[in-house]
Amino acid sequence: MSIGEDSQSKQIIAVVEDEPSVRSGLTLNLELEGFRVISACDGEEGIEVIQKHRPDLIILDVMMPRKDGFEVCRELRNAGDSTPLILLTAKSQEVDKVLGLELGADDYLAKPFGMKELIARVKAILRRIQKTQEINSVNFSNVIIDFKAYKAERDAQPLELSAREYRLLRFLVSREGSVVTRDELLDEVWGYNSYPSTRTVDNHIAKLRQKIEPNINEPKHILTVHGVGYKFVA
């Protein structure tokens, strides 16, 4: 496909799916919605395509040859790639859903799925990401975070943050001074409304505090609002 000026301005969706009929159906419907679609038929090819084209969102099948979707997701997140990602799979067991989300997927859709629902989820995730894209960096105490380059430092030393931690902190920063509920964080950062327990938010907050707070026993940047949620104060 030749890439003209108009196609370059479109948001790019990567479809990594080994079933030709599903792949072509996704491509057709996404293009009708105004997206530019790039595709791959297995996990290894998917990683190559994603690294080359840097899509705005990834739709990733779990059951694929060479590398399955879980492996692809894990590899991307370990490399610091936080591109929004929707997993597609015939597996509907909760344990598989939880595994995918724990690996860093933003959403999970079991086959067979409705195309309208998938398109709606794609648009919802992209809207959510767009809300925080204007926040490029934040500087507080002895910590500097560059959200665009995914680089962080504390006391002029490199600070290791996971892709999820970058997104969690970026969303809190985008709502600086406002209380954000745990449910909002699940919806906006994890991209889904239900999870076995909102304790997952508390656990991530605790890990993030260990990395950025001068004193984790008396946090002054990520504050707990008891019975409600959290608030970021620079």
* CATH label of the domain that carries residue 98: 3.40.50.2300
Q: What is the pLDDT of residue 47?
A: 93
Residue that wins the pLDDT comparison between 165 and 6: 165
Which of 76, 98, 131 lies at the terminal end of a domain, its last residue? Answer: 131
Which of 104, 131, 158 lies at the terminal end of a domain, its last residue? Answer: 131
Q: Could you tell me the CA-to-CA distances from 165 to 22, 81, 189, 210 in Å, in that order?
A: 33, 12, 9, 12
pLDDT level of residue 43 (50, 70, 90 thresholds): very high
Residue that wins the pLDDT comparison between 124 and 16: 16
Question: Considering its fold, how many domains does the chain have in total?
Answer: 2
Which of 98, 131, 164 lies at the terminal end of a domain, its last residue? Answer: 131
Token readout for 39 is: 């595709």
Percent of the chain with pLDDT over 90: 41
Check whether residue 140 and residue 109 sit in a common domain. no
87 closest CA partner among 147, 43, 24 = 43
Check whether residue 127 and residue 228 sit in a common domain. no
Domain limits for position 99: 5-131
**What's the CA gap between 24 and 33, in Å, rounded?**
14
pLDDT level of residue 105 (50, 70, 90 thresholds): confident
Which CATH number characterizes residue 161's domain?
Answer: 1.10.10.10
Q: What is the pLDDT of residue 209?
A: 94
Flag whether pLDDT at 93 surpasses 70.
no
Q: How are beta strands 107-110 and 57-61 bridged, if at all?
A: unpaired
Q: What is the pLDDT of residue 10?
A: 83
User: What is the average pLDDT score of the chain?
Assistant: 85
Check whether residue 222 and residue 155 sit in a common domain. yes
Check whether residue 43 and residue 123 sit in a common domain. yes
CB 12 within 8 A of CB 38: yes
Check whether residue 60 and residue 102 sit in a common domain. yes
Strand segments, DSSP code E, in 90-174 are 107-110, 137-140, 143-146, 151-154, 157-158
